[in-house]
Amino acid sequence: MRESVFTAKRIFLSGASSGIGLAIAKLLVAQGHEVWGTSRNPEKIPALLRLHPLRLDLADPCSVDEAFNAALAEADHFDVLINNAGSGHFGPAENLSAEAIANQFQVLVFGHLQLMKLAMPAMRSHGHGLIINVTSLASRLPVPFMAAYNAAKAAMAAFTMSIQLELPDSRVRIVDLEPGDICTEFNNAVNKSAQQDPRYEASVAKTWTMVERNMAAAPKPESVARRVCALIEQTNPPPRVTVGDAFQSKIAPLIFRFLPQRIRIWGLKKYYGI
Ligand SMILES: NC(=O)c1ccc[n+]([C@@H]2O[C@H](COP(=O)([O-])OP(=O)(O)OC[C@H]3O[C@@H](n4cnc5c(N)ncnc54)[C@H](OP(=O)(O)O)[C@@H]3O)[C@@H](O)[C@H]2O)c1
């Protein structure tokens, strides 16, 4: 009888201090993998065997270079990069400042792309690698008053698919992991600095109530962690994966695919009660 041989992987994981990233980090190290996990305040990352805390701020391109290169020098190579860190904003799109929009794209797109560009050549010269980009179902089913977040996640999903089209060989594989609502600290970190506006007040309040209700009832981040752990063991992982409750992650995207845009917008407004 053939026994499967466990090989510990070296993994760079952004956003390991909370929520989905923390759950992934805990499960990976429990399984024997070595994880270089990041936070803007690395002291927030729990002291665990095989979990190496690192400072990384996606808003600062120098910090991204420094964190990845320091971790690579320590690790020697990375088998897996998990682009997970991120935060959102909440407020009317027309009142979002250019700075707030740019910040969402820096944190959710440019920072992650910078990490991919650092990781890919290193993975290729090592022989193989897997990149998991945590985007969101909001890239396909946008949440009202999160326009820049939805757009940045959609940009990251499109960039991921574009690279999947272009990759000349299968030594580096890339997965777009799209969670639906997952019960984490995400809403506590949401930036609500967009200008208050009486025209939107009622809809903003109704949507936030729904967003909070969905978050409270959502699956735990450990469900995403289990999916990530399964992905890193697959020799040919699927290019796109959805995780979350069955309605959000399976039924709604399937129905949405066949609906005309007018009906999609009507349905989403109904869902959020606006
Ligand atoms: N929860 C959901 O319902 C949901 C759904 C779809 C997609 N997602 C995505 O899943 C990912 C993880 O979110 P979560 O729900 O686990 O939220 P969370 O509990 O708030 O965790 C966010 C993580 O990202 C890090 N982070 C935030 N801003 C950062 C920045 N500028 N630079 C570096 N690190 C930063 C945080 O670290 P520090 O604050 O310690 O730096 C933290 O570790 C995000 O990309 C999010 O968009 C979440």
pLDDT at residue number 9: 98
| 87 occurs within a structural domain | yes
CA of 22 to the centre of ligand 1 (A): 10
What CA–CA distance (Å, rounded) separates 268 from 202?
Answer: 16
Taking CA atoms only, the protein residue closest to ligand 1 atom 18 is 186
Interval 171-224: pLDDT, tens: 999 999 999 999 999 999 999 987 789 999 999 999 999 999 999 999 999 999
pLDDT at residue number 6: 82
Taking CA atoms only, the protein residue closest to ligand 1 atom 36 is 15
- Partnered with residue 24 across adjacent β-strands are none
Taking CA atoms only, the protein residue closest to ligand 1 atom 43 is 15
| Count of structural domains, the chain | 1
Task: DSSP for 131-171, please give it.
Answer: EEEE--GGGTSPPTT-HHHHHHHHHHHHHHHHHHHH-SSSS
pLDDT at residue number 207: 97
pLDDT at residue number 111: 98
CA of 107 to the centre of ligand 1 (A): 10
Task: For residue 140, give its domain range.
Answer: 10-272
pLDDT at residue number 4: 64
Q: Which atom of ligand 1 is nearest to the CA of 16?
A: 43
- Partnered with residue 173 across adjacent β-strands are 130
Active-site annotation, residues: 149
Probe target for ligand 1 pocket from 22, 26, 40, with the most ligand atoms within 8 Å of CB: 40
CA of 8 to the centre of ligand 1 (A): 25
| 120 occurs within a structural domain | yes
- Partnered with residue 241 across adjacent β-strands are 177
| 4 occurs within a structural domain | no
Q: Which atom of ligand 1 is nearest to the CA of 21?
A: 16
| 221 occurs within a structural domain | yes
Probe target for ligand 1 pocket from 38, 63, 65, 87, with the most ligand atoms within 8 Å of CB: 87
pLDDT at residue number 2: 56
| 209 occurs within a structural domain | yes
Q: Which atom of ligand 1 is nearest to the CA of 185?
A: 19
What letter does residue 106 receive in the DSSP assignment?
A: I
Residue 42 contacts residue 84 (beta carbons within 8 Å): no
| 2 occurs within a structural domain | no
Q: Which atom of ligand 1 is nearest to the CA of 15?
A: 43
pLDDT at residue number 119: 98
**92: phi then psi, degrees, rounded to nearest 5:** -60, 135
Low-confidence stretches of the chain (pLDDT < 70) are 1-4
Q: Give the 3-state secondary structure of residue 207.
A: helix
Q: Which atom of ligand 1 is nearest to the CA of 107?
A: 31
Distance of CA 165 to the CA centre of its chain: 21
pLDDT at residue number 194: 79
pLDDT at residue number 173: 97
Q: Quickly tell me which residue has 């990759």 as its tokens.
A: 167
| 135 occurs within a structural domain | yes
Residues 6 or more apart whose CB falls under 8 angstroms from that of 72 comprise 12, 78, 118, 122
pLDDT at residue number 118: 98
| 22 occurs within a structural domain | yes
CATH number at residue 60: 3.40.50.720
Taking CA atoms only, the protein residue closest to ligand 1 atom 7 is 136
Residue 193 contacts residue 259 (beta carbons within 8 Å): no
Give residues (CB < 6 A) around ligand 1. 14-21, 39-41, 44, 56-59, 84-87, 107, 134, 136, 179, 181-182, 184-186, 189
CA of 178 to the centre of ligand 1 (A): 13
Give this prediction's pTM.
0.97
Find the helix packing angle between 111-126 and 147-166, rounded to 10°: 20
